[in-house]
Structure 1
Amino acid sequence: MAKLKLASIADDKPVKITVELPAPLHRDLVRYAEILARESGRSSADPSRLIAPMLEWFIATDRGFAKAKKGQA
């Protein structure tokens, strides 16, 4: 069993944006959604719903961003 960095997708009111992704990245998102569904025992998630939690995780773990953000406060 793979250990994925995302455990679940929060159900929150979204803000709609349009993003173009390279085809290989989209294929990886589809695969990630399939693996996440298999490991969580749920039906396959819409790959586009993975983008927000992945970006949140990326931003939360970016030390340079945290330092710059703290410096602006």
Structure 2
Amino acid sequence: MHPTELIFYGALAVLAVVAVAIFNHRQRKARERAAQEADRLAVEEWERQQEERRQRIQRLVAQFDDI
């Protein structure tokens, strides 16, 4: 094999490794963002449920205050 071919294929291999590393990094970041978004939505849902419970309790207390 000619030295130029070795350099070419070596450079091609390095580019492939770099491309895979960039792809994996972007995938990991995307998964992290998705997990953060899921956590945020879960917290919002929990807060909404807590607010509904608080309002329900206030209505029940108001009903008993009327008695």
The normalised TM-score by structure 1 is: 0.27
Structure (1/2) with the larger helix percentage: 2
Bigger Rg, which one: 2
The normalised TM-score by structure 2 is: 0.30
